Amino acid sequence: MKRPTAYAVAAFSVLTLVCACSKAPLPAEPLRPVLTAVVGEGADESAPTYSGEVRSRYETPLGFRIGGKIVARLVDVGARVKAGDVLARLDPADSALSANAANAQLDLASADLARYRELRAKNFVSQAALDAKETTFKSAKSQAELARNQSDYTALRADHAGVVEAVAAEVGQVVAAGQTVFRVARTDTLEVAVVIPEVRLPERFKDAQITLWADEQASYQGVLRELSPAADALTRTYAARISIIKPDSRVQLGMTAKVRFLADKASAEPVRLTVPLAAIFQQDGQPALWVVGADQTVSLRPVAVAAYGETRATLASGVKAGERIVVAGVHKLAAGEKIKAVDQQPAAAVAAK
């Protein structure tokens, strides 16, 4: 019998080793990560958000009470002023001349009145003549007081503390009485001006949450102070003002703010859950959601949709608050598939309306 060669023995050993390795179990495939969210988390996120501007409730246009030429402007835009501060001055020459003329007429009327009183005491003039001089004196006195007031009106003073929002006139400009020169806004009555579309008017607006675009960590409570009774003719929106409760130094005039109206806890309306539109899967023409079980397996559950919004859908039934659903990639799943649930960011979490 012919003995096997060394080459044949080596080949047989390699073949045996390959067969042994082929019988080893293959490693398990990693679970697919899937974006999920818990139904009912972040209830406020379902409420519509309105962008607006931080304004003051009182924005007062200030102007001189007499006409004249501006010779001094003492403040610029952004200046903080106190009540009584002088903001600008007019040329006082004309008002000084008017005051001098009025004082001269008052002195003349006073002297005439004194003389006629002496004459009346001696019965040299009639009572009617004395009464006429009394009337002339009173008129001259009033004219003198008016002239003094007009001299004071050459200085434009702030009516209340605030910040200068706008300057509408410069030094050397001739302004008329009542023409706006400054606009001063009070800083103790801050609020947010927003516009509300008419489709939202049936909702109940009262308490609100206000956040700043410049600092999203800054959050404040607000309350609806004013809602226009008529829509704008062009935009068909309703102007609203939301007062900021206890604003701090981070809130500045002109800042962009976001307003979200909170649900009325006293309302008897049932709370409905909302989900992102991307979470809805169409099965045989009917909406459904992929629900994640305790063992991380998914199952398709039909739901009833009450209304579709721009980014979310309001559910009438089908899921309960606290259940976890898939919110992305719903068309790539299969019933009974085991997944690795990944939490969605809170800002886009599934919410209750």
| 201: in domain | yes
Query: Position of tokens 């991307």?
Result: 278
Which residue among 201, 232, 261 closes a domain?
261
For residue range 231-284, list pLDDT tens digits in order. Answer: 998 988 999 999 999 998 889 998 999 998 876 555 445 556 788 888 898 888
Supply the pLDDT for residue 351.
46
Integer Rg of the chain from CA: 41
Q: Give the pLDDT band (50/70/90) at residue 1.
A: very low
Mean pLDDT of 294-319: 84
Indicate the range of 6-20, 140-154, 212-226, 335-349 predicted with least confidence: 6-20
- Please give the model's pTM, rounded to 2 decimal places: 0.59
Domain with 239, as residue range(s), is 49-57+187-261
| 141: in domain | yes
115 and 132, same domain (yes or no): yes
Mean pLDDT of 80-99: 92
299 and 240, same domain (yes or no): no
Query: Position of tokens 């047989």?
Result: 12
238 and 97, same domain (yes or no): no
| 310: in domain | yes
For residue range 263-275, list pLDDT tens digits in order. Answer: 655 544 555 678 8
250 and 275, same domain (yes or no): no
Does residue 94 surpass a pLDDT of 70? yes
Does residue 40 surpass a pLDDT of 80? no
Mapped onto helix, strand or coil, the DSSP state of residue 142 is helix
Which CATH number do you get for residue 277?
A: 2.40.420.20
Which residue among 151, 175, 196 closes a domain?
151
Q: Give the pLDDT band (50/70/90) at residue 227.
A: very high
Indicate the range of 76-90, 126-140, 146-160, 304-318 predicted with least confidence: 304-318
Q: Give the pLDDT band (50/70/90) at residue 65.
A: very high
257 Cβ contact list (under 8 Å, min separation 6): 51, 52, 53, 54, 192, 210, 211, 212, 213
Do 220 and 196 contact (CB within 8 A), yes or no?
no
Do 219 and 198 contact (CB within 8 A), yes or no?
no
Mapped onto helix, strand or coil, the DSSP state of residue 146 is helix
Q: ∠ CA(290), CA(310), CA(321), 5° rounding?
A: 40
d(CA 307, CA 319): 15
* 200's tokens: 């939202």
Do 273 and 40 contact (CB within 8 A), yes or no?
yes
Q: Which helix (DSSP H) or strand (DSSP E) does residue 162 occupy?
A: strand 162-167
* Numbers of helices and strands, H then E, in the chain: 3, 24
d(CA 124, CA 108): 20
Supply the pLDDT for residue 350.
46
β partners of residue 68? 175
Supply the pLDDT for residue 305.
87
**Distances 129 to 109, 115, 118, 122 between C-alpha atoms, Å:** 13, 11, 12, 14
Which residue among 106, 134, 151 closes a domain?
151
Number of domains in the chain: 3
